[in-house]
Amino acid sequence: MAGATGIGLVLTSGGTPVADVYNIGGPSMSRNAIDNTTFDNIDGFRSYFTGLRDGGTLTFDIIFTKAGYTAILADFNDDDPVAYVLAMPASPDVPATLFVLDDGVGFSLTSKIAGTPGNAYSLEIVEGAVSAGAETVVVVGGKITVTIEADTSTIAQVVAALGAETDVTDIVTVTPVGLQTGAMWALADTHLAVAAIISFDGLVTDMPLTIPLDDKITVSITIKVVGAVNIAP
């Protein structure tokens, strides 16, 4: 049975990839078991029924950068739960799939630019007055918007448009953001494959900074999961 390593995993916060992550733990889900043992339990074993579930916590460590620390600090200062997504890298035998909503959907995209290490972008695919094969690409800062012909444009055409209009040379992962309920595109490019999308809402509760004398400066973040943990596809 094929296994998988963590290389290629992408963690996003509110649709934006979290940079310089090197360790993740959780989510550590649990559920309460309520003892309802009575004198009728003549088999000698306690009996239980289920109580409330708890999404637990997710912890992760990042190498300190001003940009990364500022982004996590914004989550910490947000009083409302933030949407987090863990995109697990696919092993070679996992079919690659990409979910597309009819009215457009946001994605986080990690890519290699001109042979450099991964660069993070916000990628949005929207429908518009274009023909399949003539998809348009607009880049504003770190956001790439691709306009497609509804139900006609293929993922190969989208990738071709990205290659023609940007300096994206090799797409590594594309991660759906939020719940995906629309049509599914089958991908031929396994670089786009993800084995699983784990999503949940959470609150940053702790973010201690560690500053050693002769090693990298790190931040350890703890997120309290609020509500259910979902997995797709």
pLDDT band at 42 (very low <50, low <70, confident <90, very high): confident
Q: What CA–CA distance (Å, rounded) separates 212 from 78? A: 29
pLDDT per residue as tens digits for the range 74-115: 999 999 999 898 877 654 433 333 333 333 334 444 443 333
The DSSP string of 110-150 is: EEEETT-SEEEEEEEEEE-S--TT--EEEEETTEEEEEE-T
103 or 54: which leads in pLDDT: 54
DSSP-assigned letter for residue 83: E
Question: In the predicted model, what is the mean pLDDT of residues 164-173?
Answer: 56
**Whole-number pLDDT of residue 142:** 62
Residues of the chain with CATH 2.40.30.200: 7-87+198-233
What is the bridge-based pairing of β-strands 48-54 and 105-113?
A: unpaired
Query: 69-78, 82-91, 135-144, 145-154: which has the highest mean pLDDT?
Result: 69-78
Q: What CA–CA distance (Å, rounded) separates 191 from 90? A: 9
- Checking if the pLDDT of 173 tops 70, the result is no
Count Cα neighbours of 31 within 13 Å in the Cβ-side half-sphere. 9
pTM across the whole model: 0.58
* Token pair in block for residue 73: 């600090």
Residue pair 157/136 in contact (Cβ under 8 Å)? The answer is: no
pLDDT per residue as tens digits for the range 176-210: 443 333 333 333 333 334 556 788 999 999 999 99
3-class DSSP state of 158? helix
Sheet holding 105-113, edge to edge: 136-140, 143-148, 118-127, 105-113, 168-176
Look over the chain and give the mean of its residue pLDDT values, rounded to a whole number.
Answer: 73
CATH code for the structural domain at 7-87+198-233? 2.40.30.200
pLDDT band at 46 (very low <50, low <70, confident <90, very high): very high
Residue pair 59/222 in contact (Cβ under 8 Å)? The answer is: yes
3-class DSSP state of 74? helix
